[in-house]
């Protein structure tokens, strides 16, 4: 009987120790996620406030406007965040904004700055290497690896309605209505079939890939919440100094 009581006391002590350790680890992970999200948000704020696009540089101005939107959105997410997942979503929104800043700097012909973390799904879709175009429902849609007055809307790469969209500059942010509802999604599908699927097939996209199975995913770009912790340095967090741009309607 004494042996059983001793074993019971030991078991209870071990369980209590494990529970307490898990609680401490959870608290530490939450604090780390919150600190990282705030750090990225502050970094984005500093970069958007310290950079002004010339009035005649439409792509840079648009990219900075998109970065500002992400700064505001990340701030709102931080105000209501209470879980690790919510803080990571805020951090990812800030990283999107940094990608837009990086795009704006590129459009202005200045040093884009240090590499920034890669959002999940971004690397897999590749980047445009040649100009692409298509006419859908009587409207012309174009894309380019480089910004110009026509192609002023930057997209850092991701998935829209389950389909890969390579990073590049486009003449209209068609991916935004594609995320908004059934009609927009149908137009987005037609744009993909008419312009981007041939671009993948014709080798006009570097990196990433596409096959017919890519069309079956239902979630919009950004449905893969998270980031690639292997990019941008920094061990298990987002790591890496930012230099960059954003994801107009990307993986979210």
Alpha-helical (H) ranges within the chain are: 2-49, 58-80, 84-107, 122-125, 175-180, 182-191, 197-201
| The pLDDT of residue 178 | 58
pLDDT per position as a tens digit, 139-182: 999 999 999 999 999 999 998 888 899 999 999 999 886 555 56
What gap in Å lies between CA 118 and CA 96, rounded to an integer? 9
- Residue 30 neighbours by CB distance under 10 Å: 16
Bridge partners for 133 per DSSP = 142
- Cα-based distances in Å from 200 to 11, 127, 142, 212: 59, 10, 15, 11
Written as tens digits, the pLDDT of the chain (252 aa) is 887 888 788 888 888 878 888 888 888 999 999 999 999 999 999 999 889 989 899 999 999 999 999 999 999 999 999 999 999 999 999 999 999 999 999 999 999 988 899 887 888 999 999 999 999 989 999 999 999 999 999 999 998 888 899 999 999 999 886 555 566 778 888 999 999 999 999 999 998 766 544 444 333 333 333 444 333 333 333 333 333 333 333 333
Q: What is the phi/psi pair of residue 17, to 5°? A: -65, -45
pTM, to two decimals? 0.76
- Residue 86 neighbours by CB distance under 10 Å: 17
pLDDT per position as a tens digit, 194-212: 999 999 999 999 987 665 4
| The pLDDT of residue 100 | 97
């Amino acid at each position: 009987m004494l042996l059983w009581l001793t074993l019971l006391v030991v078991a209870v002590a071990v369980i209590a120790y494990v529970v307490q350790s898990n609680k401490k680890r959870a608290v530490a992970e939450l604090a780390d996620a919150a600190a990282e999200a705030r750090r990225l948000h502050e970094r984005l704020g500093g970069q958007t406030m310290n950079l002004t696009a010339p009035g005649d540089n439409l792509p840079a101005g648009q990219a900075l406007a998109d970065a500002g939107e992400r700064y505001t959105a990340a701030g709102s997410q931080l105000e209501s965040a209470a879980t690790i997942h919510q803080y990571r979503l805020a951090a990812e929104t800030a990283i999107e904004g940094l990608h837009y800043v990086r795009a704006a700097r590129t459009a202005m012909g200045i040093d884009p700055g240090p590499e920034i973390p890669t959002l999940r799904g971004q690397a897999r879709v590749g980047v445009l290497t040649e100009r692409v175009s298509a006419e859908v429902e009587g409207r012309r849609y174009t894309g380019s690896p480089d910004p110009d007055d026509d192609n002023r809307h930057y997209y850092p790469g991701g998935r829209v309605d389950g389909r890969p969209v390579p990073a590049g500059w486009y003449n209209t942010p068609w991916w935004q209505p594609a995320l908004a509802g059934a009609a927009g999604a149908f137009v987005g599908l037609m744009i993909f079939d008419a312009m981007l699927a041939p671009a993948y097939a014709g080798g006009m996209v570097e990196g990433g890939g596409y096959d017919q199975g890519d069309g079956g995913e239902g979630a919009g770009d950004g449905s893969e919440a998270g980031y690639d912790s292997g990019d941008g340095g920094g061990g298990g967090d987002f790591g890496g100094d930012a230099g960059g741009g954003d994801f107009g309607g990307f993986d979210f």
